Structure 1
C-alpha cells in the first residue's frame, strides 16, 4: 500500500481531501497526502486533519514514510479506516521551507560547477539553514562570490520543473546525484528530478518553488570547518535579516 505523494507533483497544494486506509495506534495512513514527511535536511510539514465536516480535528505531530506508506501521527484519537478527511498544512511554514530548499538546490548547483564536489549533509531550520560540502578550504572572497552567483540565479527567475526517472537510470547518471551518501530509500522505483530550466538538473525529492525569484535572496552568514575535508555554510533568506 503506497501513499500517493501529492506534494511531489504540486508543492503549492495546502489543502485536500483524502481517505484513511489504515490505523495503527495514534497513526493513520492516507490514500494520498500533501504532508511532506521530511528528508534531505528539510523539516516535515505541520498541519491538521479534520473530519465529520470539520467537527473533529487533530494536529499532525509527526510524519514518517515507511516503505512507501506515509503515516501521520495525531494528537487525538484517530477516526476509523475509510473515513474521509481534510488535510490542511501550515502554508507559511511550508512556503518558507520551499524557498529555503530551492536555495539549497541552487547552492548545490553552483558549488558543483565551481568545484565538482558533493553535499555531505544539510539541515533546514525555521530561521536559517546549513549545508556541508566536501571542501578543505573556502576563502572569504570565494564565499562572497558563491553568494552572488546564487542571488544572480534567483534574480534571473529561472523556471523549475520536476519529473520522474527510473531509479537505475537516475543513479547511473552520477552528475545528477549531488549527495555523497545515497539517501534514496530502497523502495523507490522512480526518482524525482528537479530541473532549473536552462541551468542545471539534479535528483531532489523535496518541495520547491516554481521560479527562482520566489526565493527572494540569500545571505551566507557563517562558514565553519567540520572536518579535514568538510566545510559548512550557513544561510538565511535575505528578508529574515
Structure 2
C-alpha cells in the first residue's frame, strides 16, 4: 500500500520513502509513501524526481492501481531495487499552479450551482487554465460575464478551503455532495474525500487544492461554447495571485 500524503497535505513537496514493488517492463516504481498526485478528476498527474543515492530519476507519469501508486520514470539506467530508500520530490511550481486552477474550478462550480442550479457534465485542466461543462440550455455573453464577476468576487472573499476524509455513509448524507450529472464514485469506495470551500461549495473530490481562495488570483473566462442541447462549456485562465 502507498500512503498518499497529498490527500492530507497538498503543500508537502517531498518525502522519504522505500521501494516496495517494481514494474520493470514499463519502468514503474511503487513506493510506500508519496507526495505525487496520480491524476484524476480532470487534474493531471504530478511530475518530478525520485532520488536513490546519487541517481536522480525523472518521473513523468504516475498512476494509482488499487492501493498502490506507480511512478513511471524516464531513462535507461537501472531501477532501484525493492527495499531501497528513495527521496521523492514534485515539480512544485507546476503542482501549485494546478492547485490554484483546481480550486478556481470549484469556485466556478459553486457559483454556478448556487446561482443557476446547473450541474457539471465534464471538466479538464492544465496549469493555470481549465474548462468546465455545465447543464445549461443557453449561454450568452451577458451570462458569462455575470459568472466571471461572481467567481472573482468569491475568490476575493478569501474563503478557507478544508479537506476531510469521511466514511461513505456519512459523506452521502451531505446534500448535493455530488455536483456532476453522473455519480462517478465507484461503489467499492468506502472512504470519501470531501473538499469544502467554506461558505460556498462542498463536494467529493480527490485532487489537490489551495488552503484559501485568496491564493488563486483572478480568473478570466476566455471562451464559451455549446457542446450539445443542454451542455455548455466555459474556458478559464487563472491570473497571478495578488
**TM category, shorter:** over 0.9
Residues 157 and 212 of structure 1 are in contact (CA less than 8 Å); yes or no, is this contact kept in structure 2?
yes
Distance 1:225 1:174 in 2: 29
Residues 19 and 85 of structure 1 are in contact (CA less than 8 Å); yes or no, is this contact kept in structure 2?
yes
- Match of 1:189? 190
Does the alignment pair 1:60 with 2:59? yes
- Match of 1:19? 18
- Match of 1:158? 159
Distance 2:181 2:4 in 1: 25
Q: In the TM superposition, what whole-angstrom CA distance separates every residue of 1:45-88 from its partner, at most 9, and x where no partner exists? A: 01000011xx0121112111111211111114321111111001
Distance 2:128 2:10 in 1: 20
Compared CA separation, residues 28 and 38, structure 1 to 2 (3 A)? same
Residues 40 and 183 of structure 1 are in contact (CA less than 8 Å); yes or no, is this contact kept in structure 2?
no
The aligned length equals 237
- Match of 1:204? 205
- Match of 1:223? 224
TM-score by length of 1: 0.93
CA apart distance, 1:120: 1.0
Stretches of structure 1 that go unaligned for 5 or more consecutive residues are: none
Stretches of structure 2 that go unaligned for 5 or more consecutive residues are: none
Distance 1:3 1:186 in 2: 21
CA apart distance, 1:123: 0.8
Aligned partner of residue 164 in structure 2, secondary structure: strand
- Match of 1:125? 126
Show the 5 A alignment for 1:39-118: 39-52=40-53, 55-76=54-75, 77-118=78-119
CA apart distance, 1:198: 2.7
Residues 68 and 187 of structure 1 are in contact (CA less than 8 Å); yes or no, is this contact kept in structure 2?
no
Q: In the TM superposition, what whole-angstrom CA distance separates every residue of 1:68-114 from its partner, at most 9, and x where no partner exists? A: 21111111432111111100100110000000000011111111112
Aligned partner of residue 93 in structure 1, secondary structure: helix
TM-score by length of 2: 0.93
Q: What is the alpha-carbon root mean square deviation over aligned residues? A: 1.6
Distance 1:157 1:121 in 2: 26
Distance 2:132 2:163 in 1: 22
Residues 67 and 187 of structure 1 are in contact (CA less than 8 Å); yes or no, is this contact kept in structure 2?
no
Compared CA separation, residues 103 and 164, structure 1 to 2 (3 A)? same
Compared CA separation, residues 86 and 185, structure 1 to 2 (3 A)? farther
Q: Which runs of 4+ in 1 moved over 4 A?
A: none
Higher deviation after alignment, 138-147 or 35-44:
138-147
CA apart distance, 1:185: 4.4
